[in-house]
Amino acid sequence: MKILVSDSLSKQGVELLERAGFTVVVKSKMPKDELFREIKDADGLIVRSGTKVTEELIAAAEKLKVVGRAGSGLDNVDTPAATRRGIVVMNTPGGNTVTTAEHTMSMICAMSRRIPQATTSVKAGKWEKDKFMGVELFNKVLGIVGVGQIGSHLTKLAQGVGMRVIAYDPYLAADRAEKMGVEMLSIAELFRRADIISVHTPLTPETKNLINAQAIGTMKPGVMIVNCARGGIIHEGDLYEALKSKRVAAAAFDVFEEEPVKADHPLLSLDNFICTPHIGAQTAEAQENVAVGIAEQIVDYFTKGIARGAVNIPSVSPELLPRLQPYLSLAEQLGRLETQLCEGGLERVTVEYSGDVTTLSIAPLTIAVLKGLLTPIMESPVNYVNAPIVAKERGIEVKEVKSTDAGDFTSLIRVRVEAGKQSRLVAGTLYHKKEPRVVEIDQFKVEVVPEGHMLFIHNIDRPGVIGMVGKVLGDNNINIVRMQCALEKRGGNALLIIGSDQAFPAHVLNTIQSSKDIVSVKVAALS
């Protein structure tokens, strides 16, 4: 079998593949035509961040069975296209956690003591001691936005140098935060109190430009800001103005909205801004770990049929996968929907299986629920391998229940989440044995296709509500793909569900929410 390695990979990983008997072709930075020729007869492909595994490249791969990413991020891999072709996509979760947290801490130290600027000055033949006045980290307040694996490890590092850590993470259970010695706050309060702010969230519509001019205006004068997570979480233009006026004393970036960053980017002109070229995971130890890790996973897949580290299938035998796959998709979508509907720190997840689905192995299905539940809220990728570990680290209790009675359905999966002293329920089934449908949301019976951008409006059952919502969406050129109204009782509570092929802007949601008959408005993005 041929394994194509199209980006640089530690030699330990290559040697492991060769010892297993594979033909390994290592060619990095290939021109497009050469890459397409090499992929044609490859059984496996290993990439880093350089190779773009597009739908076009996948279509050209006649024998490809697995794509392995030596690292955690999969921004450069079209996973849905690979899934449609039955190609397994796997990565090495957790391999970069320590490295990225350490890089963030290094950036905090370098920024606070102006080390890069002082180095440049000395190398220019100067000795400007008075110019490079720094600040101590001891007793300073570090505000961490997003306490996932990287944010958790950064917490330990910061506490080790005597910093006090506060955090914002709406999905972290309170007892877990208490054990970490972290004070949980609202994001507004964190912005107000932190001396240094470090972001560790995924880039989503909710976190896009999370730190902007308005947010900066609520922070302490002289605050310092770090981004080693994802470009786009911090509005770069607004940060430039705040750094220039010294409202923000300093900032440090390892990531940019557009990479490679252009030489004329305004931030690069500022003396109080330091940066690195997305090297948070660039250590010898991390690179060896991910290289050996992905090589071992590839060997296991081809020799044992076990897909460890797969992001689009669980570690089940190839024979069972076709029957399990539709339920996996349903379970993941139920989890993804739940986490976007509930509020507060996740405390407990109960998954109830009823009917025919109980004859299958339910362990992978519960993992799929956790993967869907955690993916929207974690900075680091969540997959079928690390989802149970991440849930445990965040103090989330997971419970499985089986029942033979599925009511009106052949099979039913119910997911109940307890978060912030509230309980939310979603349930789903398969139509025609393969099409996922959501059939319950709390007390409402529904029939919802879980895909695209969805709007959930909890309202009082009164005339004119549907018309008002339709007009607001129409006035803002938002196309309605699907609409359904579920009623608890006449004149009581109702649930209006709208599906669209585009996102719902904040001002549209605010307009709908302002109506006197609207109880709540929530959105969910489902793949």
What pLDDT is stored for residue 82 in this prediction? Answer: 86
Q: Which residues contact 102 (CB under 8 A, 6 or more apart)?
A: 157, 283
Residue 522: name the closest of 232, 206, 151, 246 by CA. 206
Residue 525: name the closest of 458, 437, 450, 468 by CA. 450
Q: Which residues pair with 27 in a beta bridge?
A: none
Is the pLDDT at 354 greater than 90? The verdict is: yes
Q: What SS3 state is found at 397? A: strand
User: What Cα–Cα distance (Å) separates residue 115 from each residue in 46, 77, 272, 470?
Assistant: 37, 37, 11, 56
Mean pLDDT of 203-230: 94
What pLDDT is stored for residue 316 in this prediction? Answer: 67
With vertex at residue 488, the alpha carbon angle to CA 482 and CA 493, rounded to the nearest 5 degrees, is: 85
Dump strand ranges (E) for 317-388: 346-355
* 341 and 257 part of one domain: no
- Name the average pLDDT for the chain: 92
Q: CB atoms < 10 A from the CB of 81, how many?
A: 17
Question: Which residue would you say has higher pLDDT here, 252 or 432?
Answer: 252
* 290 and 375 part of one domain: no
- Following DSSP, what letter does each residue of 82-118 receive, concatenated? HHHTT-EEEE-TTTTHHHHHHHHHHHHHHHHHTHHHH
Q: Which residues contact 220 (CB under 8 A, 6 or more apart)?
A: 192, 193, 194, 195
What pLDDT is stored for residue 349 in this prediction? Answer: 96
* 498 and 468 part of one domain: yes
Q: Which residues pair with 211 in a beta bridge?
A: 234
Note the pLDDT tens digit of each residue in 278-325: 999 889 888 888 999 999 999 998 988 778 888 887 766 666 777 888
Is the pLDDT at 407 greater than 80? The verdict is: yes
Q: What is the CATH number of the domain that holds 304?
A: 3.40.50.720
What burial letters (b/e) apply to 160-186, b meaning 16+ CB within 10 Å? eeebbbbbbbbbbbeebbeebebbbbe
Q: What SS3 state is found at 373? A: helix
Note the pLDDT tens digit of each residue in 446-489: 999 999 999 999 999 989 999 999 999 999 999 999 999 998 77
Residue 348's Cβ-count burial label (10 Å; 0-12, 13-18, 19+) is: middle
* 114 and 230 part of one domain: yes
Q: Can you tell me which residue has the tokens 């695209």?
A: 452
Mean pLDDT of 213-217: 97
User: What Cα–Cα distance (Å) separates residue 498 from each residue in 322, 466, 512?
Assistant: 31, 10, 13
Is the pLDDT at 130 greater than 80? The verdict is: yes
* 132 and 169 part of one domain: yes
Number of domains in the chain: 4
Note the pLDDT tens digit of each residue in 136-193: 999 999 999 999 889 999 999 999 999 999 999 988 888 888 899 999 999 999 999 9
Specify the pairing of strand 411-419 against strand 164-168: unpaired
Q: What is the CATH number of the domain that holds 524?
A: 3.30.70.260
Identify the domain boundary among 450, 482, 502.
450
Strand order in the sheet with 518-526: 482-487, 493-500, 452-460, 518-526
Mean pLDDT of 316-337: 85
Token pair in block for residue 430: 């398969």
- Following DSSP, what letter does each residue of 194-235 receive, concatenated? -SEEEE-----TTTTT-B-HHHHTTSPTTEEEEE-S-TTSB-
Please give, one letter per residue, the 3-state secondary structure of 445-496.
EEEECCCEEEEEEEEECCCCHHHHHHHHHHHCCCCCCEEEEEECCCCCEEEE
What is the percentage of the chain residues whose pLDDT exceeds 90? 73
* 211 and 332 part of one domain: no
Q: CB atoms < 10 A from the CB of 193, how many?
A: 17
Identify the domain boundary among 410, 431, 450.
450
What pLDDT is stored for residue 172 in this prediction? Answer: 84
* 170 and 202 part of one domain: yes
- Catalytic residues, by residue number, are 230, 259, 278
What pLDDT is stored for residue 142 in this prediction? Answer: 98
Tell me which residue range forms the domain holding 358.
Answer: 317-450
Mean pLDDT of 212-235: 97
Q: Which residues contact 502 (CB under 8 A, 6 or more apart)?
A: 453, 478, 479
Query: Rounded CA gap, 70 and 287, in Å?
Result: 8
What pLDDT is stored for residue 319 in this prediction? Answer: 67
Is the pLDDT at 16 greater than 90? The verdict is: yes
Identify the domain boundary among 417, 450, 483.
450
* 328 and 373 part of one domain: yes
Is the pLDDT at 93 greater than 90? The verdict is: no
Q: Which residues contact 389 (CB under 8 A, 6 or more apart)?
A: 94
* 347 and 427 part of one domain: yes
* 123 and 253 part of one domain: yes
- Following DSSP, what letter does each residue of 148-199 receive, concatenated? SHHHHHHHHHHHHTT-EEEEE-TTS-HHHHHHHT-EE--HHHHHHH-SEEEE
* 261 and 299 part of one domain: no
Residue 385 — pLDDT band, cuts 50, 70, 90? low
* 308 and 330 part of one domain: no
Q: Can you tell me which residue has the tokens 């990095």?
A: 28
